[in-house]
């Protein structure tokens, strides 16, 4: 019998921006989107890959090879997670499955979520929700908190900047809210892409219609992703613009706060 494995490209311990308390964040490889501003381009492809990695040594750029992704069985990953149980217990934390898009490895995701719930570990899923409903149904009862990426309300602009339509994503958001799930919206605020007044107001209108009000978190654009494109030798189409400061997001914060949302910036 084939042993089930997941391909993971990073495990971050002591994370404090991926849900409540101190968390262990597990980053699954593979993503169906291609956001122009992506900060994890090494997550695009599903399998383990050897890629060209350019490193800077002083003023010189040196080409090298790097292996991205590592296979884990359920037992291996759960024991990595359990190593941090003490921090979870003391801080009210838990594990966050992120990516890429964890729903792309649905069999493993379902199994690892069940294993976490058997051990009473709090679970969060950081997701694009670009997945058919049957996949959502398989995991919904084992996820305590959804960190739900919401990138653009206008379908044509969503398609242009991420490579996919937002229809399925919005349907899934409504579906999860109707099921009474706890949701934090994560809005990556990207200058020139989704920071128009029109988009912000459309987002507010859509969220106002949900049966359960989610929290609203703004993730200001940060240039670090662009350095990764260069290091990993992947072509980027993102214009060379500066990172956003927290104060640049204040007008969006005000709009959502005035409508009764709990708002935070950066996580």
Residues of the shown chain interacting with ligand SF4 in the complex, contacts defined by CB under 6 A: 31, 33-35, 38, 40, 43, 99-100, 128
Nearest residue to 44 via CA among 242, 234, 267: 234
In a 3-state reduction of DSSP, which class is residue 34? Answer: coil
Nearer to ligand SF4, 34 or 262 (CB): 34
CB 236 within 8 A of CB 161: no
Nearer to ligand SF4, 39 or 53 (CB): 39
Nearer to ligand SF4, 22 or 131 (CB): 131
Query: What is the nearest approach in angstroms of ligand SF4 to the Cβ of residue 33?
Result: 4
Please name the residues in contact with 33: beta carbons below 8 A apart, sequence gap of 6 or more. 101, 128, 130, 162, 163, 164
Query: What is the nearest approach in angstroms of ligand SF4 to the Cβ of residue 217?
Result: 15
In a 3-state reduction of DSSP, which class is residue 202? Answer: helix
Nearer to ligand SF4, 35 or 121 (CB): 35
Query: What is the nearest approach in angstroms of ligand SF4 to the Cβ of residue 151?
Result: 8
Phi and psi at residue 174, in whole multiples of 5°? -60, -45
CB 69 within 8 A of CB 9: yes
Nearer to ligand SF4, 31 or 184 (CB): 31
CB 49 within 8 A of CB 68: yes
Query: What is the nearest approach in angstroms of ligand SF4 to the Cβ of residue 14?
Result: 22
Residue count of the chain, please give it: 267
Query: What is the nearest approach in angstroms of ligand SF4 to the Cβ of residue 127?
Result: 9
């Amino acid at each position: 019998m084939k042993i089930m494995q997941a391909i993971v490209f990073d495990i971050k311990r002591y994370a404090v921006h991926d849900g409540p308390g101190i968390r262990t964040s597990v980053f699954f490889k593979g993503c169906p989107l291609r956001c122009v501003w992506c900060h994890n381009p090494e997550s695009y492809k599903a399998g383990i890959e050897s890629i060209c990695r350019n490193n800077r040594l002083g003023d010189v750029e040196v080409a090298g090879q790097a292996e991205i992704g590592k296979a884990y069985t359920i037992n291996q990953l759960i024991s990595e997670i359990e190593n941090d149980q003490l921090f979870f217990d003391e801080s009210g934390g838990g594990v966050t499955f992120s990516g890429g898009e964890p729903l792309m490895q649905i069999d493993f995701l379902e199994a690892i979520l069940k294993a976490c719930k058997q051990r009473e570990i709090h679970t969060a899923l950081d997701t694009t929700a670009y997945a058919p409903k049957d996949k959502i149904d398989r995991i919904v009862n084992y996820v305590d908190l959804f960190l739900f990426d919401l990138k653009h309300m206008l379908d044509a602009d969503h398609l242009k900047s991420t490579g996919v339509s937002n229809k399925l994503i919005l349907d899934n958001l409504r579906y999860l809210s109707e099921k009474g799930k706890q949701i934090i919206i994560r809005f990556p605020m990207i200058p020139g892409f989704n920071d128009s007044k029109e988009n912000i107001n459309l987002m507010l209108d859509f969220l106002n219609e949900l049966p359960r009000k989610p929290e609203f978190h703004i993730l200001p654009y940060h240039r670090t992703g662009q350095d990764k494109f260069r290091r990993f030798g992947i072509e980027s189409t993102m214009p060379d613009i500066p990172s956003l400061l927290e104060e640049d997001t204040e007008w969006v914060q005000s709009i959502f706060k005035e409508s009764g949302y709990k708002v935070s910036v950066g996580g």
